[in-house]
A and B are shown apart, each in its own frame.
Chain A
Amino acid sequence: QKEVEQNSGPLSVPEGAIASLNCTYSDRGSQSFFWYRQYSGKSPELIMSIYSNGDKEDGRFTAQLNKASQYVSLLIRDSQPSDSATYLCAVKDSSASKIIFGSGTRLSIRP
């Protein structure tokens, strides 16, 4: 069974600080990795995708990938209260067309 593991949280971060979200996965052949944000009662929204080892930056968000360690992370700089949500790590199955989701990390930004 291929798995994606995340700390469920809640992770509490003061406003303006850096929030760090981590994820590990079991499918060593995976090549595509994603971070989704989900507000309560809403469907997930894609915020970052990453395919190569290293860092990928988009605004306040930076995704980091280390395939050797099977580790993906998401950094959110200058955290805002509006960043409070559940963040889902997702990994594309290397042998099927589906994407495997982690259980999500609840992030709370305190003013």
Chain B
Amino acid sequence: GAVVSQHPSRVICKSGTSVKIECRSLDFQATTMFWYRQFPKQSLMLMATSNEGSKATYEQGVEKDKFLINHASLTLSTLTVTSAHPEDSSFYICSAHQAGTNTEAFFGQGTRLTVV
């Protein structure tokens, strides 16, 4: 399957600071990438859809000014958690789709964010 690389895999930051997470498709072009958040023992929650060259589409209840998404190229999307608070601590996962009708989602390794 296609390879999606997410970095960093683990980050600890202080309250009030910002954290940037990168998601790269290594061997294919991804016009669309997705950002999820997963709390312990819960399912994936879609936060936003990242479209190359245009604004991201956020799911209901997700603050676009807090979770900044940039998808400047066909292989890279970034999620910046701004002014992080302890309640933002979670597992953040990106996925990327190859172009086409029947398209699987390939996931990055995930980023474990801890805000102290």
Contact = CB atoms under 8 A, between A and B. Distances in A.
Q: Real complex partners, A and B? A: yes
Interface of A: 31-32, 34, 36, 41-46, 49, 51, 88, 90, 92, 96-104
B106 to A, nearest CB: 7
Secondary structure type dominating chain A contacts: loop
B1 A46 contact: yes
A100 B110 CA distance: 18
Nearest to B97: A97
Contacts, number: 54
Interface in B67-116: 91, 93, 95, 97, 101-110, 112
B43 interface: yes
Closest 7 CB pairs of A and B: A103-B43, A43-B110, A43-B107, A43-B93, A101-B44, A97-B32, A32-B102
A46 B96 CA distance: 12
Contacts of A43: 6, 93, 107-110
A42 B49 contact: no
Contacts of B44: 44, 88, 101
Contacts of A45: 107
Contacts of A100: 46
A98 B43 contact: no
Interface of B: 1, 6, 32, 34, 42-44, 46, 49, 91, 93, 95, 97, 101-110, 112
A45 B105 CA distance: 9
A98 B49 contact: yes
A46 B102 contact: no
B116 to A, nearest CB: 19
Contacts of A103: 42-43
B44 to A, nearest CB: 5
A46 B43 contact: no
A102 B43 CA distance: 7
Given A32-B102, A88-B43, A102-B43, A44 B32 contact: no
Given A42-B110, A44-B44, A98-B46, A32 B103 contact: yes
A49 B110 contact: no
